């Protein structure tokens, strides 16, 4: 991700220093503080309701036994959700065949990032760009950054001001800081701002859709788990819609999300680290400037840390007698770090926690789900496709049936 110097402005990839500390503080203190997350509950509810409407409409048009592409709808919802949090606007219209140009550019970036790059294995080939990946990434990232710049320009030209604290979006926070940054050691340039906008969409929409797709897949091939989570939702939520306030009362749903993240972490090698000095670790010498990856996929399947590590078993997080009962993904339990740990841990965990449970719970409570007629639990393809996230190689096709009374 070196094209357009993306790695220099990215919160995830920027080197540790004054700029990284500034951006991290802005995200954790001003953007993703609990009050702001609570203030945006209605935005998440609206986007989830839109998704449920889209799914129901397409379900009514499907031929009998044919499934719909589940992650497609979740991705569209996520894209609009982060569009509202960042820019106070929907960025994708399901009625439009092609979607927005910004959406298309972001999709292109994710496609090229997902390709195996021979230059990563043979760095001396990098300048040749033998697969054309750098050229394609440069093109689509350039388009996406240009659109992000347009969003900022429109906000400034129209002088839109969200005076009400509840209506302030992430762009308001960034622009306010730009106006009052005189005392800071680091500055936020216009390019930094544009890349930050882009990163919100890359990080948020893709990880949400891939995680929910894997959760739905595991539930559809483990019918006993599907029955348990549906019974819990009916008991706790009843005839109303799932709300974020219900999450604490849905321990089995929480177990499903945790177990999905254990087996299918959205970023299996986390964000690359770099040794800032010569280091001795577990008998290995790691020279300064060595790129270091943390294999959270392997950690989540380690038999020394987990009983029956390859079995999808949400109960391990729900049963008080289980050794994993209190294990959580907030960076304190190193056997379970799908979002990382330490100062580079994903800053969006509190928001992701809300979104994942709300979206999955809503899908399961609004619809009964079956596999596409051409697939059975035994023939389900469970291979991964490594890109920005670890997606399912063969997209999940499932048949939704609206629950009576919904």
User: 3-state DSSP call for residue 129?
Assistant: coil
Residue pair 114/385 in contact by the 8 Å Cβ criterion: yes
The DSSP code sequence of 270-318 is: -S-EE-SS-EEETTEEE-TT-EE---HHHHTT-TTTSSSTTS--GGGGT
Closest to 108 (Cα-Cα) out of 140, 144, 148, 132: 140
CB distance 214 to 258 below 8 Å: no
81: left (phi over 0), alpha (psi -120 to 50) or beta: alpha
313-316 — which CB contacts under 8 Å span 24+ positions? Answer: 313/259, 314/225, 314/228, 314/229, 314/252, 314/255, 314/256, 314/258, 314/259, 315/255, 316/255, 316/259
Measuring CA to CA, which residue among 255, 265, 266 is closest to residue 206? 266
Closest CA to 140 of 72, 213, 201, 69: 201
Q: How far is CA 137 from CA 3, 134, 147, 322, 387, in A?
A: 7, 5, 15, 46, 13
From its phi and psi, is residue 292 left (phi > 0), alpha (psi between -120 and 50) or beta? beta
Q: Is 47 annotated as a binding residue?
A: no
CB 247 within 8 A of CB 253: yes
Query: What is the DSSP code (8-state) at residue 165?
Result: G
Give the annotated binding-site residues for heme.
346
Give the annotated binding-site residues.
346
């Amino acid at each position: 991700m070196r094209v357009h110097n993306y790695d220099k402005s990215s919160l995830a990839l920027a080197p540790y220093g004054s700029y990284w500390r500034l951006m991290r503080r802005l995200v954790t203190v001003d953007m993703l503080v609990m009050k702001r997350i609570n203030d945006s509950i209605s935005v998440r509810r609206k986007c989830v309701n839109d998704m449920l409407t889209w799914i129901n409409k397409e379900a009514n048009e499907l031929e009998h036994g044919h499934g719909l592409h589940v992650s497609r709808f979740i991705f569209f919802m996520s894209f609009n959700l982060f569009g509202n949090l960042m820019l106070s606007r929907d960025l994708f219209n399901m009625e439009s065949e092609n979607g927005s140009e910004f959406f298309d550019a972001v999709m292109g970036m994710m496609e090229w990032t997902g390709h195996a790059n021979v230059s990563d294995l043979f760095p001396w080939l990098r300048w040749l760009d033998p697969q054309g990946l750098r050229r394609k990434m440069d093109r689509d990232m350039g388009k996406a950054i240009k659109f992000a710049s347009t969003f900022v320009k429109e906000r400034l030209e129209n002088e839109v001001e969200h005076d009400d604290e509840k209506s302030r979006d992430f762009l308001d926070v960034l622009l306010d800081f730009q106006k009052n940054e005189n005392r800071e050691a680091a500055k936020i340039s216009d390019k930094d701002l544009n890349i930050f906008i882009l990163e919100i969409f890359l990080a948020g929409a893709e990880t949400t859709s891939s995680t929910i797709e894997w959760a739905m897949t595991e539930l559809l091939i483990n019918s006993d788990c599907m029955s348990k989570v549906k019974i819990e939702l009916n008991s706790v939520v009843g005839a109303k819609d799932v709300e974020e306030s219900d999450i604490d009362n849905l321990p089995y749903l929480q177990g499903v999300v945790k177990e999905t993240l254990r087996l299918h972490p959205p970023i299996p090698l986390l964000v690359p680290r770099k040794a800032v000095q010569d280091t001795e670790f577990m008998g290995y010498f790691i020279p300064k400037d060595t790129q270091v990856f943390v294999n959270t996929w392997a950690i989540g399947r380690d038999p020394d840390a987990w009983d029956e590590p390859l079995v999808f078993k949400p109960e391990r997080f729900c049963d008080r007698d289980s050794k994993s009962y209190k294990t959580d993904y907030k960076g304190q339990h190193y056997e379970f770090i799908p979002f990382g740990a330490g100062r580079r841990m994903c800053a969006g965990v509190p928001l992701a926690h809300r979104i994942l449970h709300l979206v999955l719970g809503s899908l399961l409570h609004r619809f009964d789900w079956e596999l596409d007629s051409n697939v059975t639990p035994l023939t389900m393809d469970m291979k991964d496709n490594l890109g920005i996230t670890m997606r399912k190689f063969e997209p999940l096709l499932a048949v939704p049936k609206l629950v009576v009374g919904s």
